[in-house]
């Protein structure tokens, strides 16, 4: 097939669908390739989906998108081996007409999004892996080779929305392969329970949902995060830690997940559930400093493939959707003034993205990944243990004078980490957070 498209989008995840939808709905001739049997069959997410970023693409998505629960409560737990210390935030304000955040199930959500892309006029080819970028004599990307017989397809611009472990961009030398210390490996299970049981256990009714994020000894001194997200009839439960930490500790991810499920604070929440899937996926964690060159002659990179992921707030799908939409808008602008898809013209994508929350947020936390990576045993083991010790000391009534209790708590912190260590961690954390 020698057919020329305005744009080829590689991947039908969050970023690819946002890009393909935006391009096709403006009348561009779009081909989208997805290696999975159906969109979503290769994708894994927690998954919290942020309404605002989807609304900017499909304003009335609430009418028919497969949404699980809208979130009214979020818990942040610091765990040691037997306890959790937590902050819970719950507000009835989240029970609004157009809720702000929802849980979703990616396989279902991606199928829906892909249907919208088709309806907007794009050609979507599933079960098709793009294997190589095709370039002209000057190095400009002019299409992709696929694993279909005779499968070279051409376009003025290629949108690489291939996700964190995409092969095309790295093989073509457009970007580096992620390093073990800039990606986390997450494992996740789907635990099924009746809707009412989930409602009772998490204190929510109807479509309301609650999520728990957990740090502490469950990650065994590795930089990591555990999560429990309520869906309508299931709980998504998982944990992710840096690949470099996994390699150094040789911990088994599935054993880590099992241990997390056995934690006394978590076990009762999933008791009696039926597990129907076990999944694994990488998450880009390198932040601002790991963002590659985003555009070139005939190509742009969006979403996880460009490391556009905010690990601190565990936001990724919204950055993916936004970068996909912004890239598409830039392409549309270039095309509308009859400009060729050159590096100079596509720089517009970077300019527009720099101006969005995507780059602003990642810039804000540019020093966090390095801090957490080099200090993981303090942040993920010592401090959680100390916090639990302090809380227990505070709550246990045993005739010890309060002044002694306070001294005891302070001494425990200093013993574990030294005054200097505590102050320097606090300062570094504050600077990185700023």
Ligand X SMILES: Cc1cc2nc3c(=O)[nH]c(=O)nc-3n(C[C@H](O)[C@H](O)[C@H](O)COP(=O)(O)OP(=O)(O)OC[C@H]3O[C@@H](n4cnc5c(N)ncnc54)[C@H](O)[C@@H]3O)c2cc1C
Contact set with ligand X (CB under 6 A): 10-16, 33-36, 42-48, 129-130, 161-163, 166-168, 186, 188, 238, 240, 281, 283, 303-305, 309, 314-318, 320
Answer for the pair 105, 44: CB distance below 8 angstroms, yes or no.
no
Minimum CB separation of residue 182 from ligand X in Å reads 14
Q: Output 44 or 174, the one with its CB closest to ligand X.
A: 44
The DSSP secondary-structure symbol of 315 reads: B
Residues forming beta bridges with residue 5, ordered by sequence position: 155
User: How wide is the angle at C-alpha 66 spanned by C-alphas 60 and 72, nearest 5°?
Assistant: 85
Task: For residue 179, state whether it binds other proteins (rule: CB under 8 A).
Answer: yes
Minimum CB separation of residue 239 from other proteins in Å reads 11
Three-state DSSP state, 192? strand
Q: How far apart are CA 107 and CA 374, in angstroms?
A: 35
Among 187, 228, 305, 321, binds other proteins (CB under 8 A): 187
Answer for the pair 188, 280: CB distance below 8 angstroms, yes or no.
yes
Beta carbons within 10 angstroms of residue 210's beta carbon: 22
Among 177, 344, 411, 426, binds other proteins (CB under 8 A): 177
Token pair 């096709």 is found at: 24
Tell me which of ligand X, other proteins, none is bound by residue 320, counting a contact when its beta carbon lies within the kind-specific cut-off of 5 to 8 angstroms.
ligand X
Residue span binding other proteins (CB under 8 A) among the ranges 102-110, 116-124, 375-383, 388-396: 102-110
Tell me which of ligand X, other proteins, none is bound by residue 255, counting a contact when its beta carbon lies within the kind-specific cut-off of 5 to 8 angstroms.
other proteins
Phi-psi region of 262 (alpha: psi -120 to 50; beta: other; left: phi over 0): alpha
Task: For residue 105, state whether it binds other proteins (rule: CB under 8 A).
Answer: yes
Beta strands 84-90 and 48-50 are unpaired
- How buried is residue 280: exposed, middle or buried, by Cβ count under 10 Å (0-12/13-18/19+)? middle
Tell me which of ligand X, other proteins, none is bound by residue 258, counting a contact when its beta carbon lies within the kind-specific cut-off of 5 to 8 angstroms.
other proteins
Minimum CB separation of residue 365 from other proteins in Å reads 22
Supply φ then ψ for residue 52, to 5 degrees: -55, -45
The DSSP secondary-structure symbol of 178 reads: P
Among 97, 149, 250, 430, binds other proteins (CB under 8 A): 250
Task: For residue 281, state whether it binds other proteins (rule: CB under 8 A).
Answer: yes
> Footprint of other proteins on this chain (CB under 8 A)?
35-37, 40-45, 47, 105-108, 110, 126-129, 146-148, 164-165, 167, 177-180, 183, 185, 187, 189-190, 234, 236, 243, 246-247, 250-255, 258, 261-262, 267, 270-272, 275-282
């Amino acid at each position: 097939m020698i057919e020329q498209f305005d744009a080829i989008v590689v991947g039908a995840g969050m970023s690819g669908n946002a890009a393909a939808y935006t391009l096709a709905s403006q009348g561009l001739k779009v081909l989208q390739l997805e290696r999975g049997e159906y969109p979503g069959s290769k994708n894994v997410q927690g998954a919290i989906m942020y309404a605002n970023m989807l609304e900017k693409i499909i304003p009335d998505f609430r009418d028919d998108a497969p949404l699980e629960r809208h979130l009214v409560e979020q818990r942040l737990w610091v765990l040691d081996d037997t306890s959790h210390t937590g902050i819970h935030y719950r507000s009835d304000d989240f029970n609004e007409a157009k809720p702000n955040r929802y849980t979703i199930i990616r396989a279902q959500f991606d199928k829906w999004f892909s249907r919208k892309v088709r309806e907007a006029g794009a050609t979507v080819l599933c079960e098709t892996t793009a294997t190589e970028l095709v370039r002209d004599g000057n190095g400009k990307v002019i299409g992709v080779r696929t694993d279909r017989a005779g499968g070279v397809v051409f376009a003025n611009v290629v949108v690489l929305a291939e996700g964190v472990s995409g092969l095309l961009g790295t093989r073509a030398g457009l970007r580096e392969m992620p390093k073990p210390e800039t990606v986390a490996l997450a494992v996740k299970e789907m635990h099924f329970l009746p809707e009412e049981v989930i409602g009772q256990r998490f204190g929510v009714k109807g479509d309301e949902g609650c999520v728990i994020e957990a740090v502490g000894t469950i990650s065994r001194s590795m930089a990591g995060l555990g999560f429990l997200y309520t869906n309508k009839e299931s709980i998504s439960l998982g944990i992710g830690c840096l690949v470099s930490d996994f390699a150094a500790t040789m911990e088994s991810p599935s054993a880590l997940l099992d241990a997390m499920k056995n934690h006394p604070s978590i076990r009762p929440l999933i008791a009696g559930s039926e597990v129907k899937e076990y999944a694994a996926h990488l998450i880009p964690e390198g932040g601002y400093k790991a963002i590659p060159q985003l555009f070139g002659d005939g190509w742009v990179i969006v979403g996880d493939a460009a490391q556009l992921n905010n690990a601190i707030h565990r936001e990724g799908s919204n950055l993916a959707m936004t970068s996909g939409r912004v890239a598409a808008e830039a392409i549309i602008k270039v095309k509308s003034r009859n400009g060729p898809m050159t590096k100079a013209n596509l720089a517009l994508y970077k300019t527009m993205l720099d101006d969005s929350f995507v780059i602003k947020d990642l810039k804000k936390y540019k020093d966090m990944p390095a801090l957490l990576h080099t200090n993981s045993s303090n942040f993920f083991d010592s401090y959680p243990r100390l916090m639990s010790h302090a809380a227990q000391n505070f709550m246990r009534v045993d005739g010890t004078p309060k002044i002694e209790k306070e001294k005891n708590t302070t001494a425990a912190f200093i013993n574990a980490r030294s005054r200097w260590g505590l102050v320097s961690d606090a300062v570094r954390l504050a600077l990185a957070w700023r």
